[in-house]
A and B are shown apart, each in its own frame.
Chain A
């Protein structure tokens, strides 16, 4: 089984810890991970801002970088959603508009092999107990694209519930958007900030010390607000919790328990 890690540009540049956690986690589960260096950004910021044509080279790049992997795994709900939901549409439109040649098939086919991390763990590997330990209180925010486009359902929760020492706190209004929305945060700063502030308040009120999601872009927005407000809650990507992230110098991360593959 050849597994390619699509780390995403945000994680690559700002949250390499998340990428390292995915590698640690998958290797602990007996999966050999490959990182094709030709990979880049999924193109979501360009696409969602209205620059569909500019995303086309990135589609081709993605399909080429991951052409010989059985599975493409990414620790980002919204990037997985971009690839799975929008790549086939963009490729089809490019073909209809006379660009792209044979690429639509390659892109659509690569999109179908793409999995968000928790999907890959639960659906492909068939595990919900990944042998992690994280002795902290955690509240989980289901990000919009994970929830509504990918339909992740309770997969992330099931994984978290099996983490040793982890105490899950219910987040009221969990399904409401945090207000990030990519360039929305910059184009509509007042509404984005109002949504983020409401979400941050709900998060802090749970009393949990960790806010967990499947997406670092939402965490960057919420973490930025929480930090500005002096909230004690720390944003942590689910991969880092599931990895136990023992290579991480910064607390409060758990450690791997057992660590055998299953």
Chain B
């Protein structure tokens, strides 16, 4: 059983604890620092990277604009190729469909290809409740599953663990899930990989049902695409008799020509490779080769509502490469769990509040979990202006506004806990638009400068706990200018 995201605290509260976890900080710094440098090199190799990015963004935008059309085309193509298409409006429906399909096979265990969509729906928990055991086969997902943990990174869900922690998890937990860890397991990468290989092999050979996600779904041919590094996904996609793929509706691309763009953008951005080691593609079923039954579950779960917002919808371009996480200074310090969702980092901060709505203090806090430094936008292979969407969502939290919830357009009110802030901002907005009042404030500040404390009480403590306050100068620039340049200023003159 893996953990759950229910009832997670707001981002700042979670981060208050995680930023103090020195081991977590060290693990993340090392891991993201390495991949960052490699990505820079992989991207620098292509002199048309910026044009590729623009093309990727344009294809996604066009597809999203005509999503209804391409989804119907995809359904027809998959059906023609021998697959069955199911539509799931939300997580519960997707889980119900998958559980029913597995139970119908008579099997009580499934092997899983690493999939964000099934993390999003909490499929493993739903399967467990129905008496079905789901085995994660991606190495990092396996580590998370064995450790009763939650994923903290899109590509490397166990990025928060170092080698010796992984060895300890293998030693203590593998026996509960199947083949125990070998005697005398060390924490060398080769040893750990071999232990995982032995543990998983048994499951690949036995499993009759596999569950996967997909990176892309090509509408014109009904082809599903899974991109991976380990080959474990390939095993799951080819050996079992039944394959069930849960795929978000935004994963559709119209044609193979479009796909070509993303097969260049994705590996360089995510693993810093020119091409990933395994790219599996299949359309429906083929006699005598691979699974005999194929089911595609198309997942909405808030995506159509997100699509209704012309600024916010750009988050649906995302190809889950995780480049934005790897360059994010906030992610690096807070860690993935603080984002309370399988989608951590900058993309999580814009995606989660849209997919789930501003459902709790956690979702309301996510748009503020950024210094707006722009490193994510710069790295994103489909050029999502994440800072712009963050500010857009901040406005939704602070001022309320129009949103779409389950297909119905409605206007939400400002978030409750922002009342005091709203009053301060209103006062600030007024004062800033009235330079005379502002100038009186400046002078008061200057006159009382001897009395200013080094540390502030109340909310100001957030600043002064770790930083000294700047000294207030005896004279504002405005006053200096008026004094030395003969008061050429008009409004804001003497008061």
In the complex, what distance in Å separates the CA atom of A255 from the CA atom of B435? 34
Cβ A188 vs Cβ B489 within 8 A = no
Given A37-B435, A38-B492, A49-B421, A188:B330 Cβ within 8 A: yes
Question: Which B residues are CB-close (under 8 A) to A51?
Answer: 395, 398-399, 422, 425, 429
Interface contact A14-B333, CB-CB below 8 Å: no
- Cα–Cα, bound, A45→B428 (Å): 10
Q: Which residues of A contact B475 (CB under 8 A)?
A: 16
Given the complex, which residues of A lie within 8 Å of B466, measured CB to CB? 189, 193, 196-197, 224-225, 228
0/1 string, A216-248, CB within 8 A of B gives 1: 000011011101100000000000000000000
Q: Would you give the shortest CB distance from B280 to chain A, in whole angstroms?
A: 37
Q: Which one of B8-16, B95-103, B251-259, B315-323 contacts A? A: B8-16
> Smallest CB–CB gap between B259 and chain A, Å?
30
Could you tell me how many residues of chain B have their Cβ less than 8 Å away from some Cβ of chain A? 67
Report if B140 contacts A (CB, 8 A).
Answer: no
- A181→B371 contact, CB < 8 A: yes
**Chain B binding site: helix, strand, loop or mixed by DSSP?**
helix
A31 at the interface (CB under 8 A from B): no
A57 touches B433 (CB 8 A): yes
B179 to chain A: closest CB distance in Å? 41
As a 0/1 sequence over residues 446 to 480 of chain B, the CB contacts with chain A under 8 angstroms (1 = contact) are 00000000000001101101111110110111101
| Contact call B395/A38, Cβ cutoff below 8 A | no
- For B429, the chain A residues whose CB sits under 8 A away are 43, 46, 51, 54-55, 57-58
A106 at the interface (CB under 8 A from B): no
What A residues does B372 contact at CB under 8 A? 48, 144, 181-182, 184
Tell me if B356 counts as interface (CB < 8 A to partner A): no
How many chain A residues touch the partner (CB < 8 A)?
Answer: 68
B375→A148 contact, CB < 8 A: yes
Asked whether B229 is an interface residue with its Cβ less than 8 Å from the other chain, the reply is no
A12-B442, A144-B371, A186-B462 are known; give 12 further A-B pairs, CB within 8 A.
A14-B472, A37-B478, A48-B394, A49-B394, A50-B394, A50-B397, A52-B395, A54-B425, A181-B371, A189-B463, A197-B466, A224-B470
- List residues of chain B with CB under 8 Å of any chain A CB: 11-12, 15-16, 19-20, 25, 329-330, 333-334, 367-375, 377-378, 391, 394-399, 421-422, 425-426, 428-429, 432-433, 435, 438, 442, 445, 459-460, 462-463, 465-470, 472-473, 475-478, 480-482, 485, 488-493
A to B CB contacts below 8 Å, 30 in the list = A13-B477, A14-B472, A14-B473, A16-B475, A16-B476, A34-B488, A35-B481, A47-B391, A50-B394, A50-B399, A51-B399, A51-B422, A54-B429, A55-B429, A57-B433, A58-B433, A144-B375, A180-B371, A184-B372, A188-B368, A189-B16, A191-B15, A191-B330, A191-B333, A191-B334, A195-B371, A196-B467, A197-B466, A224-B468, A228-B466
Give the B-binding residues of A (Cβ under 8 A).
Answer: 7, 9, 11-17, 19-20, 34-41, 43, 45-55, 57-58, 61, 144-145, 147-149, 175-177, 179-197, 220-221, 223-225, 227-228
